[in-house]
């Protein structure tokens, strides 16, 4: 089972500079566990106690996983998961 996970610039230090890695899992939760097994510490940058971190955007193909059940979203062979840190900020 091969699911491509696209890694943003700021997290490529965890993957030895690779911008795209291959992982497996039936759900996003399993996928991230697999990802962490291969690239230790990466999961913690993506997930906290309540699920996907609030200012990390995770996409399954063209959709934001917030609308697909977050970590419980099903993933399939050939899917692409993209991670992008949210661009945010402000005076507050």
Partner 1 sequence: MLTISAELRAKILAHARADHPDEACGVIAGPAGGNRPERFIPMLNAERSPTFYRFDSLEQLRVWREMDDRGEEPVVIYHSHTATEAYPSRTDISYASEPGAHYVLVSTREPDLEEFRSFRILDGEVTEEDVTVAPE
**Between residue 40 and residue 59, which ones bind partner 1 under the rule CB under 8 A?**
55, 57, 59
Going 23 to 21 to 45 to 72, the CA torsion angle's sign is: negative
Whole-number Å distance between alpha carbons of 52 and 29: 9
Q: Minimum distance between the CB of residue 16 and partner 1, rounded to whole angstroms?
A: 17
Q: What is the DSSP letter of 11?
A: G
Nearer to partner 1 by Cβ, of 43 and 66: the residue is 66
Distance of closest approach, residue 38 Cβ to partner 1, in angstroms: 22
CB of 37 to partner 1, least distance (A): 24
């Amino acid at each position: 089972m091969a699911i491509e996970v696209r890694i943003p610039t700021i997290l490529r230090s965890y993957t030895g500079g690779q911008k795209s890695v291959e992982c497996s899992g039936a759900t996003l939760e399993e996928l991230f566990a697999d990802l962490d097994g291969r690239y230790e510490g990466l999961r913690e940058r993506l997930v906290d106690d309540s699920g996907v971190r609030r200012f990390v955007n995770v996409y399954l193909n063209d959709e934001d996983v917030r609308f697909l059940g977050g970590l419980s979203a099903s993933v399939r062979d050939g899917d692409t998961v993209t991670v992008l840190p949210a661009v945010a900020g402000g005076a507050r």
